[in-house]
Structure 1
Amino acid sequence: MNALSTIDLARISAMDREHAARLLKGVRDATLSGARPRVLPRPVIGESWVRMLTGGVDPDRGHRSSPLGEEELEQRRRASPLAEVLPVVRHALVSVADAAQHIMVVCDADGRVLWREGNAAVLHRADALGFAPGADWSEDVVGTNGVGTPLVVRRPVQVFSAEHFVRTQHAWTCTGAPVTDPRDGRLLGVIDVSGPLRTMHPATLALVDSVAKLAEARLREGHERSLNRLRAVAAPILSRLEGRALAVDVHGWTAAVTGMPPEDRLALPKSLMAGRSWLPALGVCRVEPLPGGWLLRPEAPGDEPEPPAAARLVLDVSGARRWTITALGGVRDWTHELSPRHAELLYVLSTHPKGRSASDLARDLFDDPARTVTVRAELSRVRRYLGALLEHRPYRFHEDVRVDVVLPDDPAALLPHSTAPAVCRARGVAGP
């Protein structure tokens, strides 16, 4: 092995478990001491270690925050959309985890352990580690792990032995996959399978990822049923109205429409209430409540609504797991939670006030100027909630809109999920 090679999961899985653990311990120890390791950690692990070092996580013990009380834990369980798909997750994973001497763990978007089942002996060992219901297993608390790291990078991650930043977790292998809400792209939590080092299997990563996707599919089916119920209520109301009107659910998905071309979804402010409100895609609307949604009636026709006077946008990318854009200065202020891709796009546009072409943005995001179709499709989705606040030819924020960007204190913590070259440069690291 030469000094520039990078260890990967396939190489780890092909090794004797103890030999792989020793190799990874050497890589970790060298990294912590500031020396150059014989091999480099996997990028997802190395970047996480950088976050842990800059964040001050104790590599020997972590931070260990207090677990939730029983009442708050039950409240979080009831409020979590993952409760709806818990039977599916249990059926797919618990028996497999038990037989493989693993446990199945479901956490919320804050990294709090909500449910935990599986092999009794492993559950007992997890208790001693603090991996118990109500515990906080976010990355900035307990270091690189199969719960907190997938929450940050928004993709499945398997963490083997000394790839865990905190030494007390080195006897474990943890594999987690994030679950997002298909209705609005919001991060709901992580499904994780964890167990002793000697039971590690590389196929666990594909299994957990498949179960996370199955959970998202079941949530999507439930959403379609709720849209059908709203459609049944809204259709007779719309049939009696003149002009433009549409019924949407609380996430902005269209159930029924009259007098205007249908849109699959409109971006709604979190603070939407009955009365008058400015929506980027429609302009000023009358808003009336419906069971499970809203009736929207645009007040004036027009191909594209003008942005409100003195509009201000606040793009907040300071967090590790959630990013928002807030519009101020309209009929009513609103906030929209951004998907990982849209957070990247809007951040890049905020750094280029004169605008970027589709080819420029394809290079910024993918290091491939030919991927303009993907860029245009994503920007079309962005315009559903920014409307005339975002212009094109080139793509840029409207000249009358002030854009303020809230950045993390440490540049290395900017959009840690992102592999976009423009974001990597801003973080001060090389791209993929």
Structure 2
Amino acid sequence: MAKSPKNVPRSAPVDAAHAARLLSDVRDATLAGRPARMAPRPVIEQSWGRVLRGGVDPEHAFRSGLLAPDEVLRRRAESPLRHVLPVLREGLLQVADAAHHIMVIADPEGRVLWREGCAPVLRKADGLGFEPGADWSEDAVGTNGVGTPAVVRRPVQVFAAEHFARSLVSWTCTGAPITDPRDGRLLGVVDVSGPLETMHPATLSWVDAVAKLAEARLRELHQGSLERLRAVAAPVLARLGERAVVVDQDGWTVAVTGMPYTNRIALPKSLSTSRRWLPEIGLCSVEPLADGWLVRAADEPLPRAATRVVLDLGRSRSWSVTVSGGAGSWSRELSPRHAELLYLLAVHPSGRSAAGLAGDLFGDPGRTVTVRAEMSRVRRYLGGLLEHQPYRFCEDADVEVLLPDDPRDLLPHSTAPAVTRTRASTARP
């Protein structure tokens, strides 16, 4: 667990008031379309561009549209972040309270689920609509310490007039995304916020470190649950004389017999005990086993493989691939890296070598080991729909890519050279 430092800086080692005035001038000039004295930081400038294109009103009040209390409770009960509240509280809350900050935890949509910390600051947050059930996504509020880290998938500190909304320019917010350590899926954002005079540059590293501790704890919890299910599954599989696999509720494999090991099975969102077609196995029967599923391969001929692939990149915080055809339909949410890879394969139908993809992703054709490892993971769920030497979608796959309304919002988290070139090529002069 993170240990709270004994001494917390109460003021920033910079002239916060002067910096806030300068940023206010930059913000006002940018929103008015005038040349500014200096350019905002790239992460802020890109965020301002996104929210301006999205039509967010910087003068809008954000106290409407709260979720009902029972909906907040429902989301809390379903959020994986409920399991790491002790980690986040121990790592952040004591220091945040002493430094006149509050800790805020939001879900992937930017909805505030938990909020704790300094009582006077909590009251100020109430006046801003920064309260449980509020929508603090970039689409709703503009640039801020909850919504912006959710989009760019990295820690961000938003100081004073770097906020898009005028009502927030007296605040500093520092947020870090928390992702599922199993597949990179965004689980939410943890944010530390307070009056701008309490800003300290070290807050960014501190919040990021605690977010990583939370991810490590989630990894431990998952491994523990797999071990418990494996203890139940092993004797069951030992008695079967057929191809079978036991997976947890999310499709993660715990034990297998008579077939190659697959790290994860793509399960339909609604799963019953009827016969199913699953992409990694084919036709099979499914039955509950402890906190998971026993999946047994059928001996009947398998349906024709699915051939339609829809890559949905139209949203700013989550992306997915859907495969459908005569054998059925299934979807999978994509990690940021897999979204990048599948986009690059989709726009290069003739294929890309490992070196070419390494150059596209990292600007370094030598990083082929990383590319091959990631492509191996992608092929675990797309299977025969992908070819290699070079990497490409197979000829029988009908691939459709759903893009954002504005191409400049394509994969906003991505720093891959090929993606940033695409965004830049669509920017207005």
Aligned to 1:368: 364
Q: Secondary structure of 2:239's match?
A: coil
> Does structure 2 retain, via aligned residues, the 8 Å contact 1:104–1:192?
yes
1:338 aligns with 2:329: no
CA deviations on 1:144-190 (whole Å, 9 max, x unpaired) are 00000011111111101111011110110000111112244321111
**How far off is 1:37 after superposition?**
2.0
Instruction: Read off the aligned partner of 2:405 and give its amino acid letter.
Output: D
**How far off is 1:64 after superposition?**
4.9
Q: Percent identity?
A: 67
- Separation in 2, partners of 1:237, 1:333: 29
Aligned to 1:270: 269
- Call closer, same or farther: CA 1:310–1:233 in 2, change over 3 Å: closer
- Call closer, same or farther: CA 1:325–1:272 in 2, change over 3 Å: farther
State TM-score, norm by structure 1. 0.91
Aligned to 1:246: 245
> Does structure 1 retain, via aligned residues, the 8 Å contact 2:283–2:303?
no
Aligned to 2:417: 421
**How far off is 1:265 after superposition?**
3.1
Instruction: Read off the aligned partner of 1:89 and give its amino acid letter.
Output: L
Aligned to 2:389: 393
1:325 aligns with 2:324: no
> Does structure 2 retain, via aligned residues, the 8 Å contact 1:51–1:413?
yes
CA deviations on 1:287-320 (whole Å, 9 max, x unpaired) are 332222222233469xxx9994461011111011
**How far off is 1:35 after superposition?**
2.2
Q: Secondary structure of 1:428's match?
A: helix
- Separation in 1, partners of 2:27, 2:421: 25
**How far off is 1:62 after superposition?**
5.5
User: How many aligned positions are there?
Assistant: 416
- Separation in 2, partners of 1:92, 1:243: 49
> Does structure 1 retain, via aligned residues, the 8 Å contact 2:63–2:128?
no
Aligned to 1:89: 88
Aligned to 1:4: none
Aligned to 2:45: 46
Aligned to 1:175: 174
Structure 1 unaligned blocks of 5 or more = 1-12
**How far off is 1:241 after superposition?**
1.1
> Does structure 1 retain, via aligned residues, the 8 Å contact 2:408–2:426?
no
Comparing 225-234 with 288-297, which one deviates more in the overlay? 288-297
Aligned to 1:130: 129
Aligned to 1:407: 403
> Does structure 2 retain, via aligned residues, the 8 Å contact 1:64–1:142?
no
Structure 2 unaligned blocks of 5 or more = 1-11
Q: Secondary structure of 1:262's match?
A: coil
- Separation in 1, partners of 2:203, 2:170: 17
> Does structure 1 retain, via aligned residues, the 8 Å contact 2:243–2:296?
yes
Q: Secondary structure of 1:20's match?
A: helix
**How far off is 1:266 after superposition?**
3.5
CA deviations on 1:240-278 (whole Å, 9 max, x unpaired) are 112432211122222112234434334434344434434
> Does structure 2 retain, via aligned residues, the 8 Å contact 1:280–1:384?
no
Aligned to 1:232: 231
Residue in structure 1 matching 2:352, options 347, 351, 356 = 356
> Does structure 2 retain, via aligned residues, the 8 Å contact 1:280–1:307?
no
Comparing 373-382 with 309-318, which one deviates more in the overlay? 309-318
- Call closer, same or farther: CA 1:20–1:429 in 2, change over 3 Å: farther
Comparing 222-231 with 379-388, which one deviates more in the overlay? 222-231
Q: Secondary structure of 1:333's match?
A: strand
> Does structure 2 retain, via aligned residues, the 8 Å contact 1:97–1:193?
yes
Aligned to 2:9: none
**How far off is 1:19 after superposition?**
1.1
Instruction: Read off the aligned partner of 2:331 and give its amino acid letter.
Output: T
Comparing 106-115 with 309-318, which one deviates more in the overlay? 309-318
Q: Secondary structure of 1:247's match?
A: strand
Instruction: Read off the aligned partner of 1:297 and give its amino acid letter.
Output: R
Instruction: Read off the aligned partner of 1:318 and give its amino acid letter.
Output: G
> Does structure 1 retain, via aligned residues, the 8 Å contact 2:283–2:302?
no
RMSD across aligned positions (CA): 2.2
> Does structure 2 retain, via aligned residues, the 8 Å contact 1:64–1:136?
no
- Call closer, same or farther: CA 1:296–1:306 in 2, change over 3 Å: same
**How far off is 1:390 after superposition?**
0.8
Comparing 273-282 with 44-53, which one deviates more in the overlay? 273-282
Instruction: Read off the aligned partner of 1:164 and give its amino acid letter.
Output: H
Aligned to 2:142: 143
> Does structure 1 retain, via aligned residues, the 8 Å contact 2:266–2:330?
no
- Call closer, same or farther: CA 1:215–1:174 in 2, change over 3 Å: same
- Call closer, same or farther: CA 1:310–1:182 in 2, change over 3 Å: closer
State TM-score, norm by structure 2. 0.92
- Call closer, same or farther: CA 1:332–1:290 in 2, change over 3 Å: farther
